[in-house]
Amino acid sequence: MSTPTPPAENAIASRTIALATRGLSKAFGSLPVARNIEINLPVGARYALIGPNGAGKTTLINLMTGMLAPNAGQIMLGGKDITELGPQERVRRGLARTFQINTLFAGLNALEAVTLAVAERRGLAGQFWRGLGSHGEAIDEAYEILRKLRLGESCYQVTRELPYGRQRLLEIALALATGPKVLLLDEPAAGVPQEESGEVFEAVASLSDDLTLLFIEHDMHVVFRFASHIIVLVGGAIFTQGSPAEIAADPGVREVYLGKRKHG
Amino acid sequence: MPPAVAALAPQAYLQAQSRWHPLEIAFWLSTLLPFFLFPNYLSLTSQIAITALFALSLDLILGYAGIVSLGHAAFFGIGAYSAGLISKFGWGEPLTGLVLASVAAGLVGFDVSFVISRFRHFTLIMITLGLGLLAFEAANRAHWLTGGSDGLQGISMWPVLGLFKFDLYGYVAYIYSLAALFVVFLGVRRLINSPFGLALRGIRENWIRMPAIGADSRAHIRKAYTIAATIAGLAGALLAQTTENVSLESISFQRSADVLVMLVLGGAGRLYGGLVGATIFMIARDQFSGIAPQYWYFWMGMLLVTVVMVLPNGILGGLSEFYARWRRK
């Protein structure tokens, strides 16, 4: 299971980079949280971002998606510099994310929430003279996304009443509805009991091969199973990166990350 | 997937959300009752319709998009003074006056929306409060134009459609105000059930998620705020035209606070909350001020505290909860 999946390898071979960072740096006051980060995400890749707590993993996602502004460096999406663009503009260009802590529309049901995201992508959300119910294509597209994530049956349930595991899936559904080329998943199974977290990652694994993925995850079994490439972040800097086999064999990684976890 | 789990197809489900409920039809039919039951109170019912329209406009931004405002009377007042001045300077035709006055309020609302859309919560309360006070003092100082504390005098309206003169009993005034309320309501109802209405609810439910689904919340808020200001201006213009008088009260903080109270009483974000709240507020004010002209706000305070404590989602929120519980049995 530790060998990379073929589609990712093909993408690496074709040398097309979906998302890249160049010398990305950020400090909160005197505390550096991102130091000179260079990442290349090939099209269709399944990358995992790991590291001890406080390593700056979520900060990196915030920098990539424009929720934080870097002090230095660039972010390139499909070869174009997006460093100066706001978050919603990046989403419109195909860079979506999910949140570690559920950031959902509590009072909307799953169908409404995903339809909203689809309507935003299709440029319909500013329309106030036509009923929502008349936009059949957008609704069908939203329902199809929900169905793929096995949320079809609970799509009329208000988000705040959905079981927690389904809310995690809705996080992903909302991101998918923006039609992303690159999807950044911040601990997609955070808070889900371990025996159910596989279900979330099965859903992630079943996503289109064209979609480039970067996910943060703490569970090493999950990481080794689903990632084709692993980036280890420590203290805001890239400590090392490589295939799951390389990372598993790296004594340095064991020390700073795996070892620490084993000792609690 | 087991069959018949989802009772309705997604599109049919969303279409059903915007279907007219029999209670809605009953509500609108009941607005005609005053003609038969209380023909002596038509000037009050006309004011209720106008106030309901004002509350509806606040509901659009506060109830749906979650944009707080403590200065909404500014737009009501701009509409009222504009309508009054248009008539005073020689154009007494009501419908065009109504349109021009609400456009004036809408233009000011559009300008202000660039500030409003950048802030949230407490900051926004202070900003709207400040803007409301500015508008009030501007109207107060511009005595030469607005009549200041003496009120704007000399308004004289031509007959509606050239046929119906505003009468002492308020027949025409009530029909005119009610028709305006109904037409605007239809528009707002459509807006609420549109993709844009869904986006407004998205802003209310999660301001942080909106950019992460590619939404430009500020553009949405600017649009909603401009529409709300236009409707508030229309309500103000209706009051100026039907009473042929504009007082400073129409642009006062009191009016901003009152409309907020009405919306909270009725239930914000429920389309009918403002209408029900305005009706209860206006009737209560009429009755309470009959009991004790000086102290009627005391009773209003009692009513507000009681409703908010017992029914946190307003009267309509409480009723719909009760209805849902009753149906489950």
Chain segment B181-226, per-residue pLDDT in tens: 999 999 999 999 999 999 999 999 999 999 999 999 999 999 999 9
From B4, which residue of chain A is nearest by alpha-carbon distance? A153
| CB proximity B186 to A under 8 Å | no
**Tokens coding B281:** 């507020």
From A159, which residue of chain B is nearest by alpha-carbon distance? B205
In what order do the strands lie in the sheet containing A31-42? A31-42, A17-28, A72-77, A80-81
Rounded CA-CA distance A81/A21 in Å is 10
Residues A142-166: what's their mean pLDDT?
Answer: 91
CB B224 within 8 Å of CB B218: no
Interchain CB distance below 8 Å, B213 and A92: no
Shortest distance between the Cα of B277 and any Cα of chain A, in A, equals 23
Interchain CB distance below 8 Å, A178 and B15: no
With 50 as the cut, is the pLDDT of residue B163 above it?
Answer: yes
Rounded CA-CA distance B48/B42 in Å is 9
Residues B43-62: what's their mean pLDDT?
Answer: 96
Residue type, A257: Y
For chains A and B, CB pairs below 8 A equal 145
Interchain CB distance below 8 Å, A129 and B190: yes
With 90 as the cut, is the pLDDT of residue A253 above it?
Answer: no
Residues A161-177: what's their mean pLDDT?
Answer: 93
| CB proximity B223 to A under 8 Å | yes
**Tokens coding A39:** 């990442």
At B118-135, the pLDDT tens digits run 998 899 999 999 999 999
At B130-151, the pLDDT tens digits run 999 999 999 999 888 888 888 8
With 80 as the cut, is the pLDDT of residue A5 above it?
Answer: no
At A18-64, the pLDDT tens digits run 999 999 999 998 899 999 999 999 999 999 999 888 889 999 999 99
Task: Collect all residues of chain A within an 8 Å Cβ-Cβ radius of residue B212.
Answer: 65, 87-88, 91, 96-97, 99, 103, 174-175
Shortest distance between the Cα of B106 and any Cα of chain A, in A, equals 17
At B240-264, the pLDDT tens digits run 999 999 999 999 999 999 999 999 9
Rounded CA-CA distance B246/B70 in Å is 21
Per-residue pLDDT band for B179 (boundaries 50, 70, 90) equals: very high
**Tokens coding A68:** 């934080």
Longest dimension (CA), chain B: 74
Shortest distance between the Cα of A167 and any Cα of chain B, in A, equals 14
pLDDT cut 90: percent of chain A above it: 59
Q: Domain extents for chain A?
A: 1-94+180-264, 103-179
3-state secondary structure at position A27: strand
Interchain CB distance below 8 Å, B214 and A117: yes
Give me the residue from A91, A126, A132 closest to B214, CB to CB.
A91
Interchain CB distance below 8 Å, A99 and B194: no
Give me the residue from A107, A121, A140 closest to B11, CB to CB.
A140
Please give the model's pTM, rounded to 2 decimal places: 0.91
Give me the residue from B10, B18, B194 closest to A155, CB to CB.
B10
With 50 as the cut, is the pLDDT of residue B227 above it?
Answer: yes
**E strand or H helix that includes residue A196:** helix A194-205
B4 versus A123: the higher-pLDDT residue is A123
A79 versus B64: the higher-pLDDT residue is B64
Per-residue pLDDT band for A260 (boundaries 50, 70, 90) equals: low
Class of domain A1-94+180-264: alpha beta
ipTM of the complex: 0.89
Comparing CA positions, the residue from A196, A80, A236, A126 lying closest to residue B194 is A126
Residue type, B101: A
**E strand or H helix that includes residue A136:** helix A136-148
Q: Give the pLDDT of residue A258.
A: 54
Residues B220-233: what's their mean pLDDT?
Answer: 97
Interchain CB distance below 8 Å, B211 and A86: yes
| CB proximity B77 to A under 8 Å | no
- Distance linking the first and last C-alpha atoms of chain A: 26
pLDDT cut 70: percent of chain A above it: 91
pLDDT cut 70: percent of chain B above it: 98
Interchain CB distance below 8 Å, A152 and B213: no
Give me the residue from A96, A129, A153 closest to B194, CB to CB.
A129
